[in-house]
Amino acid sequence: MQQIELILLLVVSPHLIGNVVFAKQEPFVTPHTCITDCEIKQHSFTDELDLSTQCNERANHTNCRVRLIIDYTAQTTDIMFEPNDDNADIISVRSISTAVWCNVKKIQTTIDYMCSHSHECEIKFVREALRNFTQLNHEPFRVKLTSVLYDNNSTKPWLCYDKSMTPITCNTRPCYAKLKNQARSCGTTLLGVDFTSIGLLIVQRESVPGVPGENETQYAYLCNKNYCNGNVTDEDVEQLLTSDFTWTPLLATNDSWRKGMVSYYFLLWFILINNIQGLLFENAKHLQ
């Protein structure tokens, strides 16, 4: 949704006291050079990313966009470039989802990134994300989480809790809980994602400008022990997320992103100053 901004200027001079000037600024939309639709499958953690021989076609779009699927078990990353021309008033959107399976040895992070603050901004993000995320070792966290959520000898049906903490019987699906809003039931879906195994899903989302309710972190898990989706397990999972899960790269992949934000807002400020100078000049001519 595009926005129209009204800038209110109180012009103070011996001849203009009390005059109010409204400057109408249209949405600032500039196409950027992005990688066109392209996929790189199973890029090894140990290989350098060479975009001169693959995904080397460029085109102008409102938004550059990329998805990374990082498989820590296979030590590979799938990279999908998909630019678009939607959401012209959104400068940047990041969504980072990490799925941790307990009954199988698997950890996967999916990163969706869209930007419109500079040319090839998605390439800068991809290089930083690959450098930071592929260095992580989530296996110790997965092992500890498995002891909390998974019992290899457990069989259905399971006794679980619903949202009111009333015991219920889950005949075919394991126990489910979403942290922070205390949603509880039987389930095979975590935060809208089909999740057929016991495990945890972590989703972080951030947008600029901020969208209400979007800049947040959510967690949800499935477990196969009786009454395992209650407050005790919530506390155990949150403690592991605090003490054993590596969060730092989620905040550290933004060096180029922050530089782009500074450049973008500097440009907007420059346009604003020019608008003010033009308005002052026009008012001065009318008063002569």
Token pair recorded at residue 79: 């990279």
Query: Which residue has tokens 């109010």?
Result: 20
Which residues lie closer than 8 Å to 230 by C-beta, 6 or more apart?
161, 165, 177, 184
What would the mean pLDDT of 102-122 be, rounded to a whole number?
Answer: 91
Rounded distance, CA 45 to CA 32, Å?
Answer: 29
pLDDT of residue 52: 80
Query: Which residue has tokens 């969706």?
Result: 112
121 φ/ψ angles, rounded to the nearest 5 degrees: -65, -25
Helix (H) or strand (E) holding 58: strand 58-61
Counting runs of H as helices and runs of E as strands, what totals does the chain give?
5, 17
pLDDT of residue 15: 35
Token pair recorded at residue 229: 């989706």
**Predicted confidence band at 118 (pLDDT cuts at 50, 70, 90)?**
confident
**Predicted confidence band at 206 (pLDDT cuts at 50, 70, 90)?**
confident
Helix (H) or strand (E) holding 158: strand 158-161
- What are the CA-CA distances from residue 146 to residues 139, 277, 287 (Å)? 10, 63, 76
Rg (CA), the chain: 25
Q: Tens of pLDDT along 19-71?
A: 333 333 334 456 788 998 999 999 999 999 998 888 988 888 888 999 999 99
Rounded distance, CA 197 to CA 101, Å?
Answer: 6
Please state, as a whole number, how many other Cβ atoms lie within 10 Å of the Cβ of residue 94: 21
Q: Of 110-124, 141-155, 159-173, 243-257, where does mean pLDDT reach its minimum? A: 243-257
Contact at 8 Å (CB) between 84 and 31? no
Rounded distance, CA 247 to CA 32, Å?
Answer: 31
Per the DSSP assignment, residues forming a β-bridge with 111 are 68, 96
Diameter over CA atoms, the chain? 90
pLDDT of residue 26: 39
pLDDT of residue 264: 47
Identity of the residue numbered 234: D
Which residues lie closer than 8 Å to 284 by C-beta, 6 or more apart?
none
Q: Tens of pLDDT along 230-242?
A: 999 999 999 999 9
What percent of the chain stands above pLDDT 90?
50
How far is the first Cα of the chain from the last one, in angstroms, to the nearest whole number? 41
Predicted structure pTM score? 0.75
Does the pLDDT of residue 257 top 80, yes or no?
A: no
